[in-house]
Amino acid sequence: MRSFGVLLFKIKIHQKLPNQKIIIGASRKAISGWIPSEAEFLNLLDSTTWEKFFGPCSINALLAEHVWEHLTEQEGLIAASNCFKYLKLGGYLRLAVPDGLHPNVEYIESVKVGGSGAGADNHKVLYTYRTIQTLLEQAGFKVKLYEYFDESGKFHYYNWNPDEGMITRSKRFDWRNRDGQLKYTSIVLDAIKAP
């Protein structure tokens, strides 16, 4: 199965699509116009896996929903630096991570390092909008925040286009956010490789 996944990824990459848009850690997520990838053939921490498929400054957009919290802060910086290297000028990384300032105690219990939610047993960092922004800026990105809670528990929202990278665990698209209650949100942002 693994070799078939690698072959399929290689075929899609080598089609020389005019807009190379890659989903990092797709986990069976399929979006029209986006190429799904998994760590076994596009490893965020190993630039040699990127070199097999891309040249520097060759990717238009990257999408990573709930991936960075599975990396240590140092690994997150390495991953961001690899993304920065392979994005075109003006390209972006649309990123979503659990929100460490979400005021709901049950949410925090679910997403914290070692939390009770699905996959949280492998979480290594719980970011706030400030800590993820700082990490991405260290890698060279300019950050545009779309959704996040601040230190006072106020939710900030700026409209973003799902056609430029769909984040399902967000204010508008998470099924748990009904009746005007924000039960499950993420820090949603674009990290832009500014020209």
Residue 14's pLDDT band, with cuts at 50, 70 and 90, is very low
What's the confidence (pLDDT) of residue 31? 84
- CATH 1.10.3470 describes domain 2-192: no
Cα–Cα distance between 167 and 80 in angstroms, integer?
18
pLDDT of residue 53: 86
Tens-place pLDDT, residues 61-107:
999 999 999 999 999 999 999 999 999 999 999 999 999 999 999 99
Task: Please state the rounded mean pLDDT for residues 144-151.
Answer: 98
Selected residue with higher pLDDT from 26 and 21: 21
Q: Domain spans of the chain?
A: 2-192
What's the confidence (pLDDT) of residue 18? 58
The pLDDT score that the predictor gives to residue 41 is: 79
- Residue 2's SS3 state is helix
What is the pTM (predicted TM-score) of this model? 0.89
For residue 40, pLDDT beyond 90 = no
Instruction: Provide the 8-state DSSP code for 70.
Output: G
Structure confidence at residue 173 (pLDDT) = 95
pLDDT at residue 26, rounded to an integer? 79
Higher pLDDT, 114 or 10: 114
CA distances from 21 to 12, 46, 111, 127, 129 (A): 11, 19, 28, 25, 24
pLDDT at 1: 42
| Residue 161 identity (one-letter amino acid) | N
**Greater pLDDT, 171 or 31:** 171
